Amino acid sequence: MSATKAARTGTTTQAEILATEVLCKQPGRYIGWPTIARRRDGELIAVFSGDRDAHVCPFGKTQMIRSRDGGKTWTGPVTINNTPLDDRDAGVIETRAGTVLVSWFTSLAFEQYLQPAWRRHAGKIGPQTKRRWLGSWVRRSTDGGKTWGEPIRVAGSAPHGPIELRDGRLLYLGTGEMNGRQVVATEASRDDGKTWKVLATMPATQPRKRWRLCEPHVVEAAPGRLVAMFRVEPVRRGVAVNQFLYQSESDDGGKTWTAPHKTTVWGYPPHLIRLADGRLVVSYGRRKRPYGQRACISRDGGKTWDVAGEITLAKARNADLGYPATCQLKDGSLLTVFYQIDKPGEKTCLMATHWRPPPGP
């Protein structure tokens, strides 16, 4: 493992960056879109799409690494999913029942590219295989990730997957297609992820406002009070400008949501957690200069975000980066995983920053 010690801030009113390090590197291969979870026994699990040719290719696999020493050392990757399609994004949680649940979605986007090996692979994928595997999925393990149950189809997908609410339900806010239109679907499971029911939908595309909601994540800020944030893409293709995170709230456990509204946080996509002291943290990638991984804190349940105190978790070499996800360790410090290039000439790898938030609340 390589590690780069970052400079301490030297003040008790700011975040303290402890270290930034490489967790998993696959020489000549591409890694993307990770999530991390801390299990009840203290083990850390990070999942991602690995062993890839590139950002878009047919060969993505859902892979997992583990740490039993608070993130100091990590195991090599094991593969959870390797469907005939491109397995992209990877979310992970451990439920209070001890089940490890992984989410992902499959894609055929590689079909539009001309690489000979990709065309040959695409030629082997028939209509029946596409119907079987194209979509959004979760998969459960009741033995800590040693073995996995059959994939379970869900209505929508988001990079960091579902969360568990205080009432024991699992809640998944994701984008998908229903009745021929793109929607943001709110799904819930009352049986530890075995079955899912759609509670609500909202249009993903708002033509008059010229934006599209995608890649959401949600946190329970208080009992029954949910705060969701979204990546927003212009409907028309163009330069990534004004890509502030949008936000919506629910006070009835996800049945109804406020109209999405723009925040002052620039970056995407979001990952949200509630700290032990009640503050919320959103982590996200900055895909414009200066490139890097960022985080913001809310001290009022998501009503406002401390953009003036935005935290730079890591700097990056280019815009192929991000999807940071954060967990809180036993000592109160935070570990944020993300993907980006480590050294010039290499493909992306899985990295993490260990840091302490400013004193709270």
Splitting the chain (361 residues) into consecutive groups of 10 residues, what average pLDDT does each group show? 38 84 98 98 98 97 98 98 98 98 97 90 95 98 98 98 97 95 97 98 81 94 95 67 90 96 96 98 96 98 97 98 98 98 98 96 76
| Amino acid 201: pLDDT | 96
What pLDDT was estimated at residue 237?
A: 56
Domain boundary assignment for the chain? 18-355
- Residues 6+ positions from 60 with CB-CB distance below 8 Å: 32, 49, 50, 51, 52, 86, 87, 88
Cα of 138 vs its chain's centroid, Å: 14
pTM over 0.75: yes
pLDDT of residue 114: 78
| Among candidate residues 250, 138, 108, the one with its CA nearest the CA of residue 184 | 250
Check residue 236 and give its pLDDT. 58
Residues in contact with 239: Cβ distance below 8 Å, sequence separation at least 6, in sequence order: none
pLDDT of residue 7: 36
Q: What is the tens place of the pLDDT at every residue in 158-175?
A: 999 999 999 999 999 999
Query: Residue 221: which residues within 8 A CB-CB, separation 6 or more?
Result: 227, 274, 280, 301, 302
What is the per-residue pLDDT for 328? Answer: 98
- DSSP letter at 131? H
pLDDT value of residue 161: 98
- Determine if the peptide bond prior to 269 is cis (ω within 30°): yes
Class of the CATH domain delimited by 18-355: mainly beta
From first CA to last CA, the distance across the chain in angstroms is: 34
pLDDT of residue 280: 98
